[in-house]
Amino acid sequence: MKTSLPRPAWAPGIAAAAAATVVAYAVAHWVPALNPSIVAVILGALVTNLHLHRPVLHAGTRLAGKRLLRCAVVLLGLQLSLPELAHLGGRGLAVVAVTVAVTFTGTQVLARWLGVSPARGLLVATGFSICGASAVAAMEPVAGGDEEDTGVAVALVTLCGTLAIAVLPALRGPLGLNVADFGSWVGASVHDVGQTVATAQRVPGALTTAVVVKLTRVVLLAPLVASVGLAVRRRQRVLVPAGGVGDLAEEPHAKRRMPPPVPLFVAGFLLAIAVTSTGLLSPRVLADAKSVQSVLLVAALFGLGTGIHLPALFRTGRRSLVLGVASWALVAAIAYAGVRVAAL
Does 272 or 66 have the greater pLDDT score?
272
| Other CB atoms within 10 Å distance of the CB of residue 211 | 19
Reply yes or no on whether the pLDDT at 21 is more than 90.
yes
pLDDT exceeds cutoff 80 at 26:
yes
Mean of the per-residue pLDDT values of the chain: 81
pLDDT of res. 6: 56
pLDDT of residue 91: 78
pLDDT of residue 255: 42
Q: Which phi and psi (to 5°) does residue 282 adopt?
A: -75, 155
Best-predicted range by mean pLDDT (90-99, 111-120, 204-213, 251-260): 111-120
| Opening angle at CA 329, ends 215 and 307, nearest 5 | 75
Average pLDDT over residues 277-288: 90
CA–CA distance, 147 with 306 (Å, rounded to integer):
9
pLDDT at 317: 67
- Closest to 132 measured CA to CA, from 180, 171, 88, 165: 165
Band of pLDDT at residue 121, cut at 50, 70 and 90: very high
Comparing 25 with 314, which gets the higher pLDDT?
Answer: 25
Residue 193: the pLDDT is 73
Structure confidence at residue 288 as a pLDDT band (50, 70, 90): very high
In whole angstroms, give the CA distance from residue 187 to residue 124. 18
Is residue 33 exposed (0-12), middle (13-18) or buried (19+ Cβ within 10 Å)? Answer: exposed
260 against 308, higher pLDDT: 308
Per DSSP, the residues of 235-296 read HHS-EEE-SSTT-EEEPPGGGS-PPPSS-HHHHHHHHHHHHHHTT-S-HHHHHHHHHHHHHH
Report the pLDDT value the prediction gives residue 120, as an integer from 0 to 100.
92
Handedness of CA 101, 107, 113, 116 (dihedral sign): negative
pLDDT at 134: 78
pLDDT digits (tens, 9 = 90+) for 52-64: 988 899 889 888 8
CA distance 286 to 284: 5
Residue pLDDT, tens place only, 190-247: 987 777 877 887 788 887 788 788 878 887 888 888 888 888 777 766 534 444 444 4
Predicted confidence (pLDDT) at residue 261 exceeds the cutoff of 80? no
Compute the average pLDDT of residues 289-300: 88
